[in-house]
Structure formats: C-alpha cells, structure tokens
A and B are shown apart, each in its own frame.
Chain A
Amino acid sequence: MSGRSREPSAAHPIAVKIVISGGFGVGKTTFVGAISEIEPLVTEAELTERSIGIDDTSAVAGKTTTTVALDFGRITLDEALLLYLFGTPGQDRFAFLWDDLVTGALGAIVLVDTRRIEDSFPAIDYFEEHEIPFIIGINRFTGAQRFNPAEIRDALGVSAGVPMVECDARNRESVKSVLVSLTEEVLAKRATRVRAESTW
C-alpha cells in the first residue's frame, strides 16, 4: 500500500474530498459554512432544457443554461493536506451533477431531517449503489419531534452497519465530530477489506 501512495508535502499537497448530501433544505449549506475557512460561491452551468417550465424562464425565451450554486468548503488541515467539502445539489433535477461531484470522494455524509426522512433516500441509494463509505447525520432542528435512533434507522432503511450520529449543523464542534465519525467509518471499512484480503 505504501508503495502506491506518497508522502504529501507543501510543494505537493494532497486534496481530499468529502461529500455532504441530503434533501433540499436539510442544512448542507449551514454544515459546510460552520467549518469552512472561506465562504465561496461555486456555480455550475449546465446547458439544459430541464429548467424550462420549472424556473421562470418566460421572460427569457430560449434560455438553455441553468446555473446551479454549489456548496463548497475548504479546510487546510496542514501544509500538505487540503480537505474540500462539497454539497450535492438538493433538488432532484440537478442529480446529473452528482457523478462529477462524488467521484473520488473519501466518503459522504447524508444529512437527515427527521420531519422529511424520505428526502434523504436518493442520497442513501446513490452511496450504497456506488459503494462509497457514508454515515448518517441527524440534523437536530428545533421544533422537530425527537425519535429514537432505532426508529430513524428503520425509517431510513439502512443496515445497522451504517453509523448514525446526531448533529447540529450550525455548530462547528458538532460538524467536526461528524467529519471525524466519517473518517472512522472509512478506516473501519478499510480494515474490514484488509482482513478479507488477508484470508485469501
């Protein structure tokens, strides 16, 4: 393994990407903003006709470009290690951007609002299908009814093997803790795989 990887240095840094996903309005922007060192605006432009009839394009006949604002955060972990956080667009109609954002990610965090559990299904399906390590972050909204973790797990339909943590997307320490949980999950998955390989 060490033969294939090199030690990062300030001159040759390594960029690591973590994807923040979940339904529209679940707190992805808040989550990324709570820990990012910059507050940037990243957009993607897609030549598409999908927006016609959805966005109000009546005033601009023939518009075929949709500009999507993406959540993007950057954390300089040390001089040689950069962590990028990317939020997946919440609306289904931007699902075509997902492959591009998710490819190469270390792992993913699926944020869940217990009032709209079903909104997180597409993200969970996606990461399961693409075998990307992910954890569930239950974003605690004030006023939301509290459920016990077993109930939420049943409602989400995820196995006991998928870690589930509570968080407050507004709170930096809480966001850090979720990111640490994800790295633990990635390490656990790695250890399982190494054990499986060593039994050959």
Chain B
Amino acid sequence: MTDSSWGSGAGFPYAGAPRTSVGRQSDDLDEDPVIRPFMLTNGRTQPLHDGLRVETLLRAEPAALSAPLRFESRRIVELAQSPMSVADLSVVLRAPLGVVRVIVADLITQGFLAVEKQPEELSTSLIERIRDRVRAL
C-alpha cells in the first residue's frame, strides 16, 4: 500500500488512514479513538451526483488546477489530469469509497471534474478485445 504506482500517495492527511506505530505509544490513551470517515465531507454521506460507480473514470478540467481547493479536492484534480477511477482515487487518498464519492460529486457539481463517458453497452468486438488481451497477459 505504501508503494503505489502513483508515487507519493503517502503522507496524505486523511484522518482515517491506517495509523503507523510511530506516535502511537502504549500510553497514548485517546478519549475517542474512533475515526469518523465522513469528517472530510462535513458529515455528508450522500453524493450530490448519482451514478458514480467504483470504476467510473474521472477527468479534471485543466482550470481546476488553479482553483482554490482544499487538500483532498486538490489532490483529486491533480490525480485526475489523466483519467482516474473512483476506486483508484480511494486507494491513493486512503479514504473509503463513500467519502471519495461525496468529494468527487462536489467537484463535478462545481465543474472541476468530468465523468469520462462510457458506451452504454460494450460492442462485441470490444468484448473480444478484452478476451484476447487477458489471454495475452
């Protein structure tokens, strides 16, 4: 997990990320050790935009790079300069899918992210291409 192909996903300040043993001494008595995953979304759990599947590919508008965005949103528009799926973003941000969906939906609503359009149905030739490519892996 620390070695992702996107380079430095580490150090991202998502509070729900697994804690390392560093700074977690045995005498560290937290009053409330529960991390609330939806803290990043101000407690909102419902995305403003429907139809965001785990494999939905997102692309950031170039203008989004100069927008005044918070940490998570900024990182998403940086990562999505080439198409990135919701699941891939979840991996890099170390945030649950539901959290990523809410942030992504906000960015879409604000016009900073766009959903990469997919065909309604895969053509037969495309399915054959999938089959042949898997076989050749």
Residue of A14, A16, A63, A82 with highest tally of chain B CB at under 10 A = A14
- List 10 A-B pairs, Cβ < 8 Å: A15-B85, A38-B5, A40-B87, A41-B91, A44-B98, A65-B38, A77-B130, A77-B137, A78-B133, A183-B134
7 further A-B pairs in the complex, CB-CB below 8 A; given A46-B98, A84-B54, A103-B53: A37-B5, A40-B88, A65-B36, A67-B37, A67-B96, A180-B135, A190-B127
Taking a contact as CB atoms under 8 Å apart, the answer to whether A72 and B91 are in contact is: yes
Interface size on A, residues (CB 8 A): 52
Hey, which chain A residues are within 8 Å of B107, CB to CB? none
Taking a contact as CB atoms under 8 Å apart, the answer to whether A106 and B122 are in contact is: yes
Known contacts A5-B121, A5-B123, A41-B1; A100 and B87 CB within 8 A of each other: no
In the complex, whether B28 has a CB less than 8 A from a CB of chain A is: no
In the complex, whether A125 has a CB less than 8 A from a CB of chain B is: no
Stretch from B19-27, B60-68, B69-77, B112-120 that touches the partner? B112-120
In the complex, whether B104 has a CB less than 8 A from a CB of chain A is: no
Hey, which chain A residues are within 8 Å of B126, CB to CB? 5, 8, 14, 81
Give which listed residue, B1, B33, B99, B135, contacts A45 with CB less than 8 A: B99
Interface size on B, residues (CB 8 A): 46
In the complex, which residue of chain A has the Cβ closest to the Cβ of B32?
A60
Hey, which chain A residues are within 8 Å of B118, CB to CB? 14-15
List 7 tightest A-B contacts by C-beta distance, closest first: A5-B119, A45-B96, A183-B131, A45-B37, A77-B133, A40-B91, A15-B55
Taking a contact as CB atoms under 8 Å apart, the answer to whether B87 and A16 are in contact is: no
What is the total of A-B residue contacts with beta carbons within 8 Å? 144
In the complex, whether A83 has a CB less than 8 A from a CB of chain B is: yes
Contact mask B67-110 → A, CB, 8 Å, 1/0? 00000000000000001010110110011111100000000000
In the complex, whether A140 has a CB less than 8 A from a CB of chain B is: no
Hey, which chain B residues are within 8 Å of A180, CB to CB? 131, 134-135
Taking a contact as CB atoms under 8 Å apart, the answer to whether A13 and B57 are in contact is: yes
Question: Which of B's residues lie within 8 Å of A, judged by CB?
Answer: 1, 4-5, 16, 33-34, 36-38, 45, 53-57, 83, 85, 87-88, 90-91, 94-99, 116-124, 126-131, 133-135, 137
Hey, which chain B residues are within 8 Å of A86, CB to CB? 54-55, 87
Taking a contact as CB atoms under 8 Å apart, the answer to whether A75 and B1 are in contact is: no
CA distance in complex: A1, B120 (Å)? 10
CA distance in complex: A87, B114 (Å)? 27
In the complex, whether A187 has a CB less than 8 A from a CB of chain B is: yes
Taking a contact as CB atoms under 8 Å apart, the answer to whether B4 and A40 are in contact is: yes
Taking a contact as CB atoms under 8 Å apart, the answer to whether B85 and A5 are in contact is: no
CA distance in complex: A184, B36 (Å)? 44
CA distance in complex: A43, B137 (Å)? 27
Taking a contact as CB atoms under 8 Å apart, the answer to whether B85 and A4 are in contact is: no
In the complex, whether A95 has a CB less than 8 A from a CB of chain B is: no
Taking a contact as CB atoms under 8 Å apart, the answer to whether A47 and B45 are in contact is: yes
CA distance in complex: A6, B122 (Å)? 9
CA distance in complex: A86, B55 (Å)? 9
CA distance in complex: A162, B87 (Å)? 30
